[in-house]
Structure 1
Amino acid sequence: MVHETDNPRSGADADAHARLQYNGNSRSASWHYTVDDKEAVQSFEHIWRCWAAGSTTGNNQGIQVEVCVNSDGNYLKAIQNAAELIAKIMKDENIPISNVVQHNHFSGKNCPRNMREGNITWSQLITMVKNANGNVQQQKPITDNNKYRVLTGTYATKQAAESVLDVLKHRFGWLAYIEQDTKQWRVKTGTFTGMTAAQAGAEKIKAAKLAQIANIVAI
């Protein structure tokens, strides 16, 4: 079942939405995959029933795929990535193309809204799925189970640290905290499993220009 996040905020990418679920989603909704213009992130195995369809049948039978619409992403590329993912799921689970449906199919909700408004039409997505090779790159399994946090450099005021904290929590969907360092302040994240994930988190903080320094510490 195909959805859109309907969240156009900058930074509201697949990683941010996956972390939102991992950290305890405040909404009574869940989904199996989130896809953006760079990656597809899986939050639940297919055997888990996710609450996204708006109907018991859709929840019980559906594999829920959310496509990101963040303003700093490439929507067309996100749709192309979703088509690759859907093709692979169909192959793995022996699902016919006739069973690939919109969220609207089960609940009548205007979702996926951008597709329904014709930005990329539903028929175009189905054609992409049919033409896809199903070779969606899968995330490498985590072999480093050690836990890490990312700490920013210090800020002169607590208000500056709070501004960074707000982005990490509400745009990235991360757990994050402020701690005092003598007369200055720094922000630290929740835990990452594996150095690769921690390094990606540190790079994301720097890429968003939230901090010039982002240190990784083992816990």
Structure 2
Amino acid sequence: MVVIRQKLVPDSLAAKITYGKINKRKYIVIHETDNLKTGADADAHARLQYSGNSRAASWNWQVDDKEAVQSFGHMWACWAAGSDKGNKEGIQVEICVNSDGNYLKAVQNAAELVAKIMKDENIPIERVVQHNYFSGKNCPSKMRAGKVSWSQFITMVKNASGNAQQQKPVTDTNKYRVLTGTYSTRQAAENVLDVLKHRFGWVAYIESDGSRWRVKTGTFTGVTAAQAGANKIKTAKLAQVANPIAA
């Protein structure tokens, strides 16, 4: 089963970028982020929503090839489907298409997530729909282009539904940071810091370690999120060593 965790947008912010807690939860609406940038994964999109999206848009879930992250509870009617009906009756799921991710695995994870939501909210497969269904927008664009066909995705959801088990979001509230191995020059550490801040959208710092330098991130909630952050750093080849540490 796909790893599921929460990074819920605070209610004070959520009230400004949704219709409020009025979602009738009749549909599950599938989107794709159309964000091909390296690092534009579920964690990055969840952080974007948590810190205040500059666009007048919001969505309940984002899912990539590693995890599904929830930003809004299902009662929140998010701004994503392009119509009042779609927004006020749909749970919005964004599939990440970042160039450094595995799109097929992200779609498989999305299918598992959708199967879980169907079970939790008693939503039938016939009401799992594309963003296009409500607004006519070409979304999810890769799926509509046949990268993975819609019928294949629905089959994945049906198969996942047969194996679906109840899974609660991770509730580890301990705080962790990620600490990299050392760099021989401060400039090398600053190059990594620049990527973490401006591409990943993270808080991060440089620390001296004798004559060498390390990079330390801001805090993650839960060791699973911190480990995912460490893996993201290593996958992007920013450090050979990156480990979660207690904050």
Tell me how far apart the structure 2 counterparts of residues 136 and 11 of structure 1 sit (CA, whole Å): 30
Tell me how far apart the structure 2 counterparts of residues 96 and 151 of structure 1 sit (CA, whole Å): 45
Tell me how far apart the structure 2 counterparts of residues 102 and 47 of structure 1 sit (CA, whole Å): 20
Q: Is 1:127 aligned to 2:172, yes or no?
A: no
Query: 1:84-163 to 2 correspondence within 5 Å?
Result: 84-132=112-160, 133=162, 135=164, 138=167, 141-143=170-172, 145-155=173-183, 157=185, 159-163=187-191
Tell me how far apart the structure 2 counterparts of residues 204 and 36 of structure 1 sit (CA, whole Å): 12
Identity of aligned residues (%): 75
2:116–2:166 Cα contact (<8 Å) kept: no
The offset of 1:62, in angstroms, is 1.0
Q: Which residue is 2:80 aligned to?
A: 52
Tell me how far apart the structure 2 counterparts of residues 15 and 112 of structure 1 sit (CA, whole Å): 19
Tell me how far apart the structure 1 counterparts of residues 189 and 158 of structure 2 sit (CA, whole Å): 48
Tell me how far apart the structure 1 counterparts of residues 192 and 239 of structure 2 sit (CA, whole Å): 8
* Matching residue's letter, 2:36: P
* Matching residue's letter, 1:210: L
Mean Cα displacement is larger for which, 57-66 or 76-85? 76-85
Tell me how far apart the structure 1 counterparts of residues 166 and 122 of structure 2 sit (CA, whole Å): 19
After TM superposition, the score normalised by the length of structure 2 is: 0.74
Tell me how far apart the structure 1 counterparts of residues 102 and 242 of structure 2 sit (CA, whole Å): 27
RMSD of aligned residue pairs (Cα, Å) = 2.8
Q: Which residue is 1:74 aligned to?
A: 102
2:78–2:87 Cα contact (<8 Å) kept: yes
Tell me how far apart the structure 2 counterparts of residues 136 and 114 of structure 1 sit (CA, whole Å): 28
Tell me how far apart the structure 1 counterparts of residues 185 and 56 of structure 2 sit (CA, whole Å): 36
Tell me how far apart the structure 2 counterparts of residues 137 and 35 of structure 1 sit (CA, whole Å): 18
The offset of 1:75, in angstroms, is 1.8
Please state whether the residue corresponding to 1:64 is helix, strand or coil.
Answer: strand
The offset of 1:178, in angstroms, is 4.6
The offset of 1:218, in angstroms, is 4.0
Out of 205, 210, 216, the position equivalent to 1:188 is: 216
The offset of 1:3, in angstroms, is 0.2
Q: Quickly say closer, same or farther: Cα 1:207–1:121, change in 2 above 3 A.
A: closer
Please state whether the residue corresponding to 2:215 is helix, strand or coil.
Answer: strand
Q: Quickly say closer, same or farther: Cα 1:12–1:139, change in 2 above 3 A.
A: farther
Tell me how far apart the structure 1 counterparts of residues 103 and 181 of structure 2 sit (CA, whole Å): 33
Q: Is 1:35 aligned to 2:63, yes or no?
A: yes
Q: Which runs of 5+ in 2 are unaligned?
A: 1-28
Q: Which aligned segments of 4 or more residues in structure 1 are displaced greater than 6 angstroms?
A: 180-184
* Matching residue's letter, 1:64: Q
Tell me how far apart the structure 1 counterparts of residues 163 and 55 of structure 2 sit (CA, whole Å): 31
The offset of 1:182, in angstroms, is 8.2
Tell me how far apart the structure 2 counterparts of residues 13 and 202 of structure 1 sit (CA, whole Å): 14
* Matching residue's letter, 2:97: V
Q: Which runs of 5+ in 1 are unaligned?
A: none
After TM superposition, the score normalised by the length of structure 1 is: 0.82
